[in-house]
Every structure is written in structure tokens, then in C-alpha cells.
Amino acid sequence: MTVNAEFEHPRLAAVYDLLDPDRSDLDVYLDLIGEDGARSVLDVGCGTGVLACALAARGFQVVAVDPALASLDVARAKPHAEWVRWVHGDALAVRGLGLAGFDAATMTANVAMVFLDDEDMAAALRAVRESLAPGGRLLFEAREPRLLSPELWTRESTWSRRGLPGHGEVEAWCETERIVGSLLTFRWTFVFHADGQVLTSCSTLRFRSREEIATLLEAAGFSAVELRRLPRAPERAFLAAARRS
Ligand SMILES: C[S@@+](CC[C@H](N)C(=O)[O-])C[C@H]1O[C@@H](n2cnc3c(N)ncnc32)[C@H](O)[C@@H]1O
């Protein structure tokens, strides 16, 4: 299991939420799960557990899975984390746990884009489908493929320098390294001015069209596929919703 430094390095996992404190992008998930009358949720690629803890605080039964131990350690220290079952593993790990019957499953932020090959994405979708109750709903988002460009992330457009409680001044920026077909590789650089440490994290994401995502969902046994604009970021990404047939 390869995990990016951004999520796996303890120092980077510790500043992840502080560098990106506005998580209003998660509201749509909380709203849709609440509207659906769900009681149990599987959060795949939970990272530092923002959504999982918010769901637990609202009384949902939550199992949250991520391959990055350092991010899970951050998650476990949060309020309401004690009500979440944290699982160290990737999307396929849910298969081995004998967990099933979830009313909803989520893959928030870039999680659905880390599966670079269609075979990997299909395997992840099948594993999530098996963990859902009949009629249970999977929700995830994907960035708009028309935004795939070297200009998407540049040092100028992403640079920040902030004083973070307990960490001192941290400078961060993201640069696109290369684009090959629908794969975009980018590198985050983090400078910890308290001691001068420089850490980098390189990641690749797959940009898929709505049609590609609908085809993958249907092939994995989902139906009622809906692809809608993300309310808080309609230009940036779209939301996929589908039910276990
Ligand atoms: C951009 S972060 C999003 C974290 C969280 N969902 C959020 O909204 O803050 C992507 C997450 O996907 C996780 N990830 C990477 N590969 C994965 C895989 N094969 N299965 C499940 N999660 C994976 C990473 O460890 C990371 O925590």
C-alpha cells in the first residue's frame, strides 16, 4: 500500500486540517446522508477523520478506513473519535472485516481520484458496494476533467504562509509536475520555519468524465446513478451518487 507523505508523514498529517480549515465541502455529504434516513456510514479514505467525527457527533454509526496511519492517529485524537471504528487499510480492506449492511458510504475530497487504473477503481467500487445494504447509497466527488491543466495548481495560486498553533510558521505551495493523458501529478512543498525542515509530497490523480464514472458505477453493480454539481464548488467538481441495486 503506497501512501502519500501528505497523509502519512506525522508532521504533515498534524498540519493537514490547520492548512485547510474550511471543510464546508463536507456539508453536502452530511445533508444527503441525513435526508436519506441513514443510520450507518462507511467513510473510505477518511484521512484525518473530519467527516467521520462529524457523523459520529450526529449519532451515526461510523466505520472509517484509511491506509495512512499518521492521519488515523490525528483522527483518533478528535472529539467524538471514540464513537468511530477506525480501520487501517485501503478501500479493499473493508472486504476482510466482515463489515456489511451500511446505509451509506462516502469517499470525500480526492479519494475517488487516487484510483489511477480503471481496474483499481472498479475493485474499490465493488468492495464498497458489497459493504452496503441493498439500496444503500455511495457518495463521492470528482474534479471536473475540463480543469485538467498545468495551470490548475501553481506555486502562485496555492502559496500560503501561516502561523499554525503548535507548529510555528508553515509555508506551503503546490505545483503541477506533469500531465499524462488524464493523470495529473503534483507536488506539495511544506517549509516548517520553526526548524527549517522542508517536506514534499508527490501525488497523482486521475480525472474522469461523468460518463466514465457512470460506466464504472454501473459495471460495479450500482444503479440510480446521479451526477450533480457540487453545491459549494460547482466549477471545481461534481458529486456522484449511486445505490446498491
Ligand atoms: C485528499 S485526502 C482526503 C481525506 C478525507 N476524505 C477528507 O475529505 O479530508 C485522500 C485520502 O485518500 C487516502 N487513500 C489513498 N489511497 C487510498 C486507497 N487505495 N483506499 C482508500 N483511501 C486511500 C489517503 O490516505 C488520504 O487520506
Please report, for residues 29, 65, 119, 148, 202, the alpha-carbon distance to residue 51 in angstroms, rounded to integers and kept in the order given.
8, 12, 27, 27, 24
Strand order in the sheet with 160-164: 160-164, 168-180, 183-192, 197-206
In the chain, where are the structural domains located? 5-144+208-244, 146-205
At 2 the pLDDT is 66
pTM: 0.97
> Ligand 1 centre from 75 Cα, in Å?
13
Nearest of 141, 150, 146 to residue 174 by alpha carbon: 150
Full pLDDT tens readout for the chain, 245 residues = 568 889 999 999 999 999 999 999 999 999 999 999 999 999 999 999 999 999 999 999 999 999 999 999 999 999 999 999 999 999 999 888 888 899 999 999 999 999 999 999 999 999 999 999 999 999 999 999 999 999 999 999 999 999 999 999 999 999 999 999 999 999 999 999 999 999 999 999 999 999 999 999 999 999 999 999 888 888 999 999 999 98
Ligand 1 atom nearest to CA at 20? 9
The pLDDT, as a whole number, for residue 232 is 83
Instruction: Report the separation in Å between the CA atom of 177 and the middle of ligand 1, taken as the mean of its atom positions.
Output: 20
Quickly name the fold that domain 5-144+208-244 has.
Rossmann fold (3.40.50)
- Centroid of ligand 1 to alpha carbon of 141 (angstroms): 12
Sign of the torsion angle spanned by Cα atoms 29, 32, 35, 39 = negative
